[in-house]
């Protein structure tokens, strides 16, 4: 697959946006079963066309290897029969989720007899800008569509053949369900100007969701004229309170850091009450696990394998087997550290003291605040949403993991019997 002939990106995105808006009107009224049919048919198309998807992916992989992509990037790009099956199963799982569209949020009757309700409706047109993982084409496009939205997808150039092949399957699903093909569109050019055109498409695109590395998210947040749901950093803290169960603290710290080090819910900084300075085995356990430990002098005195932490360490999301650690004087100093260095993503406390936990849960200003559990539960699936299109650390609209409900808004319905306002 080669790019189509050069098109002026702004004109291209405007035309795609107009088609998306038209499609979104049909999507907004589509019954749940129709949308689910489209997703299940798309899943089936992915299985049927597995060979074509794998062939397209081999083309991307060969070009990526020739272009010197790192091993981690190639791994994100690579599709296998298992990964294609996972994508298909993911579409089927979304098809089975409760449809938020049409849900009545509340209903009241006014003294004058007016009946008021707020009812969930789709957001409209969702733009998704992502990098090398081709599964996002199906995951994000499918989730946006299931919430009744039209989606405009702009994947990374390194995955363009794979994205195109997956997109064909999504469109087959839409056609089979009788929904407009334009409900899920893939930007056919991979130059960065198309991203700029999407970010400037206020009025055509209702929300932009970036999925990728920090430089992509930072660019989107800086340039977008369209509202953005995203998180830039996940500087995740675990605080071990003096009233923590030591064994639980050790287990949670190891899981929060080492289960997977590259996800946004992975712990990056460990804060330990100074009461534990002599007795807690957690630092040794972290070092034993193969994690690089960077700490204050106090930490290094207890765990000699730790190297000195610099000032930047407290503001760094490693996304790797590296942990910064320090001792604090109780929950207040921990919360001050989190307020100063955190990223409003996910922060946790380990304590058996319910009053201390309540203070932490109330005062820490993060999208997800955790008591006595691993920070790696910061995920839409784990938090019961069935899926996620991303995690938002902004304060407006949706916060934390965003799935179907976060991809909707609401309108007010006012039903009367001829009431005039006095």
Burial 33-58 (b: 16+ CB within 10 A, else e): eebbbbbbbbbbbbeebbeebbebbe
What pairing do the DSSP bridges indicate for beta strands 150-154 and 125-130? parallel
| Residue 340 sits in the site that holds a copy of itself (CB under 8 A) | no
| Residue 193 sits in the site that holds a copy of itself (CB under 8 A) | no
Query: Smallest distance, Å, CB 216 to a copy of itself?
Result: 18
| Residue 363 sits in the site that holds a copy of itself (CB under 8 A) | yes
Nearer to a copy of itself, 196 or 394 (CB): 394
Instruction: Candidates 200, 227, 246, 330: give the one binding a copy of itself (CB under 8 A).
Output: 227
Instruction: Candidates 32, 34, 176, 409: give the one binding a copy of itself (CB under 8 A).
Output: 409
Residues 109 to 168 in contact with a copy of itself, rule: CB under 8 A:
110, 114, 116, 121, 123-124
Phi, psi of 271, rounded to the nearest 5 degrees:
-110, 130
Supply 313's token pair: 């360490």
Instruction: Candidates 29, 51, 55, 89: give the one binding a copy of itself (CB under 8 A).
Output: 29
Nearer to a copy of itself, 64 or 124 (CB): 124
Nearer to a copy of itself, 112 or 310 (CB): 112
Nearer to a copy of itself, 59 or 317 (CB): 317
Q: How far apart are CA 237 and CA 346, in angstroms?
A: 7
Apex 9 CA angle, 192 and 223, nearest 5: 55
| Residue 98 sits in the site that holds a copy of itself (CB under 8 A) | no
Q: How far apart are CA 131 and CA 402, in angstroms?
A: 19
Q: How far apart are CA 24 and CA 123, in angstroms?
A: 9
Residues 382 to 401 in contact with a copy of itself, rule: CB under 8 A:
382-384, 394-397, 399-401
Neighbouring residues of 235: CB distance < 8 A, sequence distance ≥ 6: 268, 269, 315, 316, 317, 341, 342, 343, 345
| Closest to 388 measured CA to CA, from 375, 371, 401 | 401
DSSP state of 91: H
Q: How many residues line the site for a copy of itself (CB under 8 A)?
A: 60
| Residue 251 sits in the site that holds a copy of itself (CB under 8 A) | yes
| Residue 255 sits in the site that holds a copy of itself (CB under 8 A) | yes
Among positive and negative, which fits the CA dihedral 372, 375, 376, 382?
positive
Q: Which stretches of the chain bind a copy of itself, using CB under 8 A?
A: 25, 28-29, 108, 110, 114, 116, 121, 123-124, 206-207, 227, 245, 248, 251-252, 254-255, 259, 339, 357, 361-363, 365-374, 376-377, 382-384, 394-397, 399-401, 409-421
């Amino acid at each position: 697959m080669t790019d189509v002939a050069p098109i002026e990106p702004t004109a291209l995105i405007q035309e795609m946006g107009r088609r998306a808006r038209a499609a979104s009107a049909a999507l907004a009224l589509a019954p749940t079963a129709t949308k689910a049919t489209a997703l299940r048919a798309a899943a089936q198309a992915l299985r049927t066309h597995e060979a074509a998807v794998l062939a397209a992916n081999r083309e991307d992989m060969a070009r990526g290897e020739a272009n010197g992509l790192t091993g981690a990037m190639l791994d994100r790009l690579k599709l296998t029969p298992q990964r294609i099956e996972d994508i298909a199963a993911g579409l089927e799982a979304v098809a089975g989720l409760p449809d938020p569209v049409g849900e009545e949020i509340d209903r009241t009757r006014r003294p004058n007899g007016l009946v008021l309700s707020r009812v969930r409706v789709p957001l409209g047109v969702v733009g998704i800008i992502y990098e090398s993982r081709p599964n996002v084409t199906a995951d994000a496009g499918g989730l946006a569509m299931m919430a009744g939205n039209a989606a405009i997808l702009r994947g990374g150039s390194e995955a363009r053949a794979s994205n195109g092949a997956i997109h064909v399957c999504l469109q087959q699903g839409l056609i089979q369900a009788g929904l407009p093909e334009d409900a899920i569109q893939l930007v056919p050019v991979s130059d960065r100007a198309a991203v700029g055109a999407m970010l400037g498409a206020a009025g055509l695109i209702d929300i932009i969701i970036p999925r990728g590395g920090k430089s992509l998210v930072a660019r989107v947040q800086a340039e977008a004229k369209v509202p953005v749901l995203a998180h830039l950093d996940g500087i995740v803290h675990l605080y071990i309170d003096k009233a923590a169960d030591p064994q639980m603290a050790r287990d949670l710290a190891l899981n929060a850091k080492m289960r997977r080090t590259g996800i946004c819910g992975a712990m990056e900084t460990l804060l330990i009450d100074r009461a534990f300075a002599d007795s807690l085995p957690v630092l040794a356990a972290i070092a034993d696990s193969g994690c690089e430990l960077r700490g204050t002098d106090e930490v290094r005195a207890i765990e000699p394998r730790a190297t000195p932490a610099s000032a930047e360490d407290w503001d760094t999301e490693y996304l790797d087997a590296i942990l910064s650690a320090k001792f604090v004087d109780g929950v207040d100093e921990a919360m001050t550290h989190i307020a100063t260095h955190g990223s409003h993503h996910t922060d946790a406390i380990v304590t058996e003291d319910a009053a201390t936990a309540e203070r932490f849960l109330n005062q820490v200003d993060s999208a997800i605040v955790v008591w006595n559990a691993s920070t790696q539960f910061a995920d839409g699936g784990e938090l019961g949403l069935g899926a996620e299109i991303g995690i938002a650390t902004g304060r407006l609209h949706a916060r934390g993991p965003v799935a179907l409900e976060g991809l909707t808004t609401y309108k007010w319905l006012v039903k009367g019997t001829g009431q005039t306002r006095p």
